[in-house]
Each structure stands twice: as structure tokens, then as C-alpha cells.
């Protein structure tokens, strides 16, 4: 239907998460209409991000240097480590302006059914970080996703950390009703979590 290079571009764009075939076609035609400079800038930025961006040596967040900007920031609180599944989970936490500690990115969640085991994630590195810091780490916040695999990962980490570092407090992000939501639209699990995590006013 289209020239082969256009078909290939549509196919490649369609591989991106959340991009269906129609959106891929619209994006392909937008790129075709763009100036040579704009198209080249897009291609260069993709090439550059693949060439230059890797993992932070300490927390495994995205970095274009040995350490990410958060690990390099001396103003951050070294006593608290927030554990997340993916680098994309760090940005929403930072947007809250509520957390000023450090991060540790696991690189996924435990899922034996998908073949993701302890050795496939940055779990050993987390234990090593805490042991290396000795008494300076006082709390580990488990901010894995509230999914089956995320919950399983949090439970595994909590049990291991209690055994390895009994002096370190292990906490979990609260979950429940989103602000502005109506009770009638809440599912039973979310409402149950909200009840379990209720607090005094």
C-alpha cells in the first residue's frame, strides 16, 4: 500500500508501547512532512540516547555518566533508600517533592512464571549497598507496583531485609483511594486497602 521505507517506519513505530497501527501511520506521515532538519534531529536523538545512556553504577537509574544526577546530589538524604521497579518509576516520585532520599532501581519485578528470578534483578546490589553503608541507612521504602509481581517482590525484599539488616526499618507505600475519586467507583481491593491503611485525623 505504501512504499517499503514508509511501511518499515510504520512497523517500527507500531512496536512502541501504546502505539497502535493508526497512530503509527499518523506519526510516520508527520515525520514525512517534517523538515529534513527535524527528521534528522529525531534520528540523532534516538541514536544518542542508545549510545550514551546507560545505568547508574550505584542505583541503576538512567545515567549518561557513571552516576545519575540524584546519586551525585550531596543534598539528598543518604539514610533513606526508595526501591522501585524501573527507571520510569523515579520521575513520578520526584514530581511529588515529598521524597529527598536515594533510589535503587531493581530493573523489574520477581516473576518466576516469566522467568524473572532474584539473579535477574539488582537485588544483591541493594543488600550490598545497605551493608556497605553500615548504620547510615535507617529506612528502605518498598515502592514496587501494586501488582501481583510487585507485591511478591516487596514481600521477598521485606523478609530478606529484616533478616539481613534488622536495624533498618522496611516500609511500603500506602495504597488506597485516589484523591477526587467517588467511593461507588472503587473496586473491592482498592477499598479494602484504603480501610486497612486508614489513619487518625
For the chain, which domains are there? 4-52 (1.10.8.420), 73-172 (3.40.1360.10)
**Cα 98-124-69 angle, rounded to 5 deg:** 40
Q: CB within 8 A of 29, min separation 6: which ones? A: none
Q: How many CA atoms lie within 13 A of 109 on its CB side?
A: 19
pLDDT of residue 196: 81
Q: What is the 3-state secondary structure (H, E, C) of 45-102?
A: HHHHHHHHCEECCCCCCEECCCCCHHHHCCCCEEEEEEEECCHHHHHHHHHCCCCCEE
* Structure confidence by residue, pLDDT tens digits, 62-99: 999 999 999 999 999 999 999 999 999 999 999 999 99
* Structure confidence by residue, pLDDT tens digits, 19-31: 999 999 999 999 9
What's the grid cell of residue 138? 535507617
Amino acid at each position: 500500500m505504501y512504499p517499503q521505507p514508509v511501511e518499515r517506519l510504520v512497523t517500527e513505530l507500531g512496536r512502541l508501547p501504546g502505539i497502535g497501527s493508526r497512530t503509527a501511520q499518523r506519526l510516520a506521515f508527520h515525520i514525512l512532512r517534517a523538515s529534513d532538519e527535524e527528521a534528522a534531529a529525531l534520528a540523532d536523538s534516538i541514536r544518542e540516547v542508545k549510545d550514551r545512556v546507560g545505568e547508574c553504577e550505584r542505583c541503576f537509574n538512567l545515567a549518561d555518566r557513571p552516576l545519575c544526577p540524584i546519586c551525585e546530589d550531596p543534598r539528598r538524604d543518604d539514610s533513606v533508600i526508595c526501591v522501585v521497579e524501573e527507571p520510569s518509576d523515579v520521575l513520578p516520585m520526584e514530581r511529588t517533592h515529598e521524597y529527598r532520599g536515594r533510589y535503587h532501581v531493581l530493573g523489574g519485578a520477581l516473576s518466576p512464571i516469566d522467568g524473572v528470578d532474584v539473579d535477574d534483578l539488582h537485588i544483591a546490589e541493594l543488600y550490598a549497598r545497605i551493608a556497605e553503608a553500615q548504620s547510615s541507612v535507617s529506612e528502605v521504602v518498598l515502592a514496587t507496583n501494586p501488582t501481583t509481581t510487585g507485591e511478591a517482590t516487596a514481600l521477598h525484599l521485606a523478609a530478606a531485609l529484616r533478616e539481613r539488616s534488622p536495624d533498618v526499618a522496611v516500609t511500603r507505600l500506602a495504597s488506597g483511594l485516589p484523591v477526587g475519586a467517588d467511593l461507588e467507583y472503587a473496586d473491592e481491593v482498592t477499598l479494602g486497602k484504603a480501610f486497612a491503611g486508614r489513619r487518625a485525623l
